[in-house]
Amino acid sequence: MSLARVVPWLNLTLRSVRGLCRTRFMEPQGPANPTPMENGTVPCGEKRPPEAQETTVIEGAAKIAFPSANEVFYNPVQEFNRDLTCAVITEFARIQLGAKGIQIKVPGEKEVQKVVVDLSEQEEDKTELKECADLAPGNQPRTATVGEICEEGLRVLEGLAASGLRSIRFAREVPGLRSVVANDASARAVDLIRHNVDLNEVAHLVQPSQADARMLMYQHQRVSDRFEVIDLDPYGSPAPFLDAAVQAVSEGGLLCVTCTDMAVLAGNSGETCYSKYGAMALKSRACHEMALRIVLHSLDLRANCYQRYVVPLLSISADFYVRVFVRVFTGQAKVKASASKQALVFQCVGCGAFHLQRLGKASGASGGRVKFSAACGPPVAPECEHCGQRHQLGGPLWVEPIHDLEFVGRVLEAVSTNPCRFHTSERIRGVLSVITEELPDVPLYYTLDQLSSTIHCSTPSLLQLRSALLHAGFRVSLSHACKNAVKTDAPASAIWDIMRCWEKECPVKRERLSETSPAFRILSVEPRLQANFTIRDDANPSSRQRGLKRFQVNPKANWGPRPRARPGGKAAGEAMEDRRRLLQNKRKELAEDPAQRAARLKTFSCKRFKEGTCQRGHQCCYSHRPLMPETTADAAHTDCPQTHNQNPPGSGAITGPGVD
């Protein structure tokens, strides 16, 4: 056989053997894998590949299967977020369905109320039971229970559902729902949602959907197609979804929004915050409440474009995110008042004192009408009146109340009477209790450490400062957003007078202060207000006296935001933990031995020595070793027989074994 025929025959034989080996040893035993779909998913109803390991998580009343690889996002730290959302939607459903004559039935709530009534008024309870028994079946009040379809109930949309955990918890824990749409743009996530919906037996309520959240909400702009509740919990900023969300929520509907891009909202990148939310964020001790007010401003601004406006029900700053619950209404007259609800903030860079300047002015007119006009300002001079430093301008931000205290009280009462409903009930009680104690008409706050560090004095206790403000005739409260917050209606001049009085009891060494420092200028003025630091009984808030869990401690290491889900399912296990440790403190200079540092610096050539201007000589920390010229280096290699025929660099000649 000729060589030309043997070579193709061998190639065909080797290909056949290779294919046989790949079939016998590389494919798993059992049925063949289904054809993969977009982003590595498989067709619905088919079995997943054996290598796709799953982890089962039980949260609330839901049981969820997650892929072990980081293919679908899940963060267990946000269980508090999901518990609070279930509690808020439950009370919202109670209000909405109560207007239609429908009562909702929450598991565990009726039994608790029965015990309370039985212990206090047993006879009245027996009378009520008899009266209920005498009612005809047609006169019984309509009720909505968990897990059942309520024809007049709420339509809920979760725009970014990921695994569907939140939607499944709604279906299994919130009564009075007509339907829940669990939407995600990822095909792999929607496949997982279908699997979890079947696992929890809520297919009659939860409808999986694969679509872009914005397009889905834009398709539901018609009044008859709108959702009563829309929940947006994206990875990062919700800014791309807000315009569609304010149009797709029904009249008086509930819009729930989470923002995890706290670095932007807290002032680290003001220009980025403006591009996303339409406001400049400032670096401030009150940055967490300022972040809430910026998000509310952004929501109201987008709603105003469609003659709609927002009414905040509850605004939470917790862990590494902020969460707002607002109702959206339509009304041209109310939209005109939106300008007077926004304000710019002037913050001193020296002492941190802030002043608010509203964008609009609403004043009463004849006939009970309201007249709107432009506001006058600014409220500050070019330099701070307390320390002489300049001001930074931030905002606009929402300066009206960020909570509906009546609604917050309803949620707090429901959680307190049924503490076994949620795993984080204790924390929900603590946070909502602090919110009910906040001053609703006082935006932003100061902090204890901020005030004391500005004038370099010892820090007074929280009760001492609160008592001094109360003795002076001002109101004061805490803030759920910061443990050391002092929210008060006292002007900055009164606060600094109180701190001057405190400094007299704990003197500061004035000779160590610079004459241009804020501390020197503030302390050089005598206080006009004589502070009284005697502890008052009403200075200690009720939530603090009862020892409620108001501020969550870090549950574990690396408890913050998780890495973004990857389409390929890149595992977030030990490799990710090693990467975190490697990148920690990468911008900080590690402690180095002086001898090692000197030896390391000697490896670098001195630039001034090259220029002939270094006058340190041998005392210079850098190397003064002269560089070998190229000609010397070339001459040193001429003795080597292997490089005898090499030409000088750049000559363009071709060198090699067979070239002269």
List the single range of 15-24, 48-57, 68-77, 154-163 with lowest mean pLDDT: 15-24
Specify the DSSP class assigned to residue 527. P
More confident residue, 85 or 107: 85
Question: What range does the domain containing 537 cover?
Answer: 444-546
Q: Is residue 508 part of a domain?
A: yes
pLDDT at 560: 60
pLDDT at 653: 40
pLDDT at 555: 63
Residue 409 has pLDDT above 70, yes or no: yes
Write the pLDDT tens digit of every residue in 190-245. Answer: 999 999 999 999 999 999 999 999 999 999 999 999 999 999 999 889 999 999 99
- Do 232 and 321 touch, CB atoms closer than 8 A? no
* Cα 298 from chain centre: 15
Share of the chain above pLDDT 70, in %: 75
Specify the DSSP class assigned to residue 424. T
More confident residue, 467 or 77: 467
Mean model confidence pLDDT for the chain: 80
**Contacts of residue 371, Cβ cutoff 8 Å, sequence gap at least 6:** 362, 363, 364, 365
Helix 405-417 and helix 79-98, axial crossing angle in degrees, nearest 10: 110
With CA atoms as reference, report the closest residue to 361 among 379, 343, 334, 380. 343
Neighbour count for residue 356 (Cβ, 10 Å): 15
Residue 8 has pLDDT above 70, yes or no: no
pLDDT at 550: 80
Write the pLDDT tens digit of every residue in 103-158. Answer: 999 988 765 443 333 434 444 444 444 444 444 445 567 888 998 999 999 999 99
Give 371's strand partners.
Answer: 363
Torsion of CA 463, 464, 470, 472, to 10 degrees: -170
Residue 44 has pLDDT above 80, yes or no: no
Q: Is residue 472 part of a domain?
A: yes
Write the pLDDT tens digit of every residue in 243-283. Answer: 999 999 999 999 999 999 999 999 998 999 999 999 999 99
Tokens of 142: 């309509």
Tally the domains of the chain: 1
- Do 201 and 192 touch, CB atoms closer than 8 A? no
Alpha helices by DSSP H, listed for 337-480, are 405-417, 425-437, 448-454, 462-471
Q: Is residue 457 part of a domain?
A: yes
Q: Is residue 468 part of a domain?
A: yes
More confident residue, 474 or 320: 474
pLDDT band, very low/low/confident/very high, at 643 (cuts 50, 70, 90): very low
With CA atoms as reference, report the closest residue to 212 among 158, 156, 159, 260. 159
Write the pLDDT tens digit of every residue in 524-567. Answer: 999 999 999 999 989 999 988 888 888 776 666 666 665 555 55
Task: Quote the CA–CA distance of 378 and 383 in Å, as a whole number.
Answer: 12
Residue 509 has pLDDT above 70, yes or no: yes
- Do 390 and 384 touch, CB atoms closer than 8 A? yes
Q: Is residue 164 part of a domain?
A: no
Q: Is residue 403 part of a domain?
A: no
Cα-only R_g, the chain? 34
pLDDT at 612: 85
First to last CA, the chain: 45
Q: Is residue 511 part of a domain?
A: yes
Task: Quote the CA–CA distance of 437 and 453 in Å, as a whole number.
Answer: 27
Average pLDDT (327-333) is 93
Q: Is residue 538 part of a domain?
A: yes
Write the pLDDT tens digit of every residue in 433-474. Answer: 999 999 999 999 999 999 999 999 999 999 999 999 999 999
pLDDT band, very low/low/confident/very high, at 359 (cuts 50, 70, 90): very high
pLDDT at 11: 53
